[in-house]
Amino acid sequence: MPLIVALDVRALGAGRLARAQEALRAHELAAAVVFDPANVRYVTCDGSYLVANLHCSYRWALVFAEHDPILWEPAESLGLARTRFDGEVRPTTSFTFFGSGGHSAEHARQAMAEVHDELRARGLHRAPVGIDRAEAVVFFALADLGLRLVDAVPVLEVARSVKTDLELAVHRENARLVDVAVRRWLEDLAPGRTECELWARLVAETFATGALHSESRLLSSGPRTNPWMQEASDRVVEDGDPVAFDTDLVGPHGYLTDVSRTYLCGDAAPSAELRDAYRAAHGFVHEAIPEFRAGRTFAELGEQLGPRIPPEYRAQRYPFLAHGCGATDEYPAIVVDGHHAGVLAPGMVISVEAYTGRVGGHVGAKYEEQIVVTDGAPEHLSHAPVESRLL
């Protein structure tokens, strides 16, 4: 079942770029050089080899507050980039140790000299320049070139947190595809399969409709559901086991659908411990969602929602009550303590979640829904089935 939204990728990119440039102006930054794939795609377009790019800076962009951005792309990907981005695209000078070995620092200086030249041509080489992340040789090269660097991560993450209308359309479609995948996966949920087999089946359903990658392999069963964060293994799922997963799925066009479910496998009756844990997780999430209204501060939400976690589950609670979604799990994070500054705004895509499992218990439950913050009641994006046998 493919995407049903006809997406203009250039219009999608133009809307994102406008938000990034507005954020740069608001922070009095004339330019930023970005390497994080989430930021590069935000100001230009999607690239190839996404997962490799998460740990290897082989494409980057120079984004200006008042000028068109420049994208540096590996020579073998130039053709693809030019089908997605109408701005200037240049071949990179690779500097990773993998490709450059002992010449890495020298190559980084050559690559960053091009960035410096573009800043100088616009009279910006003495102004503060934002940067997000890169290999150490990049920072050394930019410092040697005399640039004054500042952290661009907060600037761009806050900009990315509020989605354009086209971004929201993609989020809705990606969530719909995940809902379909979960329903199909439930048809295959049966005793006798390993966790890895079940995870592979879930991923296969999502990849068949264009998903790009999953941020994790969080699927566990039976006693491995307590504590949480145990990834899929060769354990064979038994009749009556809970099977819990967190999708952490980056779908078509690079937008995250992050939902969690716990289901009962087979026909055996669930234990009272499992039913109690599931009811607690499901109840917490659905009672919390109406509180996510535009204008609520992150601290206010954390202080209000944290105490709602039942005491018997607090020791192993999930670290976040909720978090933003975009290219991945991202700003903002709603936490129980150590609150972040900030306010919910219309257009934020948020995942609200809970894990409930007693210390030393036999099982636990994970539950998570994805919503859009609006001026009124939150919009629910995720509609995967609940486990009625546990309610």
pLDDT tens across 22-41, in order?
Answer: 999 999 999 999 999 999 99
Banded pLDDT at 267 (limits 50, 70, 90)? very high
Cα distance between residue 355 and residue 277, in whole Å: 8
Tell me how far CA of residue 230 lies from CA of 69, 204, 243, 351, 365, in angstroms.
42, 20, 12, 20, 12
| pLDDT above 90 for 6 | no
Cα distance between residue 301 and residue 381, in whole Å: 20
pLDDT at 372: 98
pLDDT at 52: 86
| pLDDT above 70 for 81 | yes
Q: Which of 216, 191, 96, 192 is nearest to 202 (CA)?
A: 216
Neighbours of 377 (CB within 10 A): 12
Average pLDDT over residues 333-349: 94
pLDDT at 65: 98
DSSP state of 164: P
Average pLDDT over residues 60-81: 96
Burial classification of residue 127, based on how many CB atoms lie within 10 Å of its CB (0-12 exposed, 13-18 middle, 19 or more buried): middle
pLDDT at 7: 87
Q: Which of 238, 189, 185 is nearest to 208 (CA)?
A: 185
Q: Which two tokens stand for residue 109?
A: 């200086």
Beta strands across the sheet bearing 148-151? 88-91, 70-73, 60-64, 31-34, 128-131, 148-151
pLDDT at 241: 98
pLDDT tens across 176-199, in order?
Answer: 999 999 999 999 999 999 999 999
Average pLDDT over residues 3-19: 86
Domain boundaries, the chain: 9-159, 162-390
Cα distance between residue 370 and residue 166, in whole Å: 17
| pLDDT above 90 for 323 | yes
Average pLDDT over residues 134-156: 97
Sorted by sequence, the CB contacts under 8 Å of residue 222 that are 6+ apart come out as 235, 237, 238, 241, 242, 363
Give buried/exposed letters for 21-31 (b at 16+ CB in 10 A, else e): bebbeebebbb
| pLDDT above 70 for 4 | no
DSSP state of 65: S
Please tell me the CATH superfamily of domain 9-159, with its number. Answer: Creatinase/prolidase N-terminal domain (3.40.350.10)
pLDDT at 5: 58
Average pLDDT over residues 384-390: 97
pLDDT at 262: 98
Q: Which of 353, 226, 235, 347 is nearest to 286 (CA)?
A: 353
pLDDT at 87: 94
pLDDT tens across 98-108, in order?
Answer: 999 999 999 99
From the CA atom positions of the chain, what is the Rg in Å?
Answer: 23
Average pLDDT over residues 116-137: 97
Q: Which two tokens stand for residue 389?
A: 């046998």
Which pTM value belongs to this model? 0.95
pLDDT tens across 356-371, in order?
Answer: 999 999 999 999 999 9
Characterise 28 by phi-psi region: left (phi > 0), alpha (psi -120 to 50), beta (else). Answer: left
Banded pLDDT at 277 (limits 50, 70, 90)? very high
pLDDT at 53: 87
Task: Give percent above pLDDT 90 in the chain.
Answer: 93
pLDDT at 16: 97
- The arrangement of secondary structure in 162-390, i.e. its CATH architecture, is Alpha-Beta Complex (3.90)
Cα distance between residue 80 and residue 234, in whole Å: 39
Q: Which of 199, 201, 209, 205 is nearest to 252 (CA)?
A: 209
| pLDDT above 60 for 2 | no
Task: Give percent above pLDDT 70 in the chain.
Answer: 99
- Mean pLDDT for the chain overall: 95
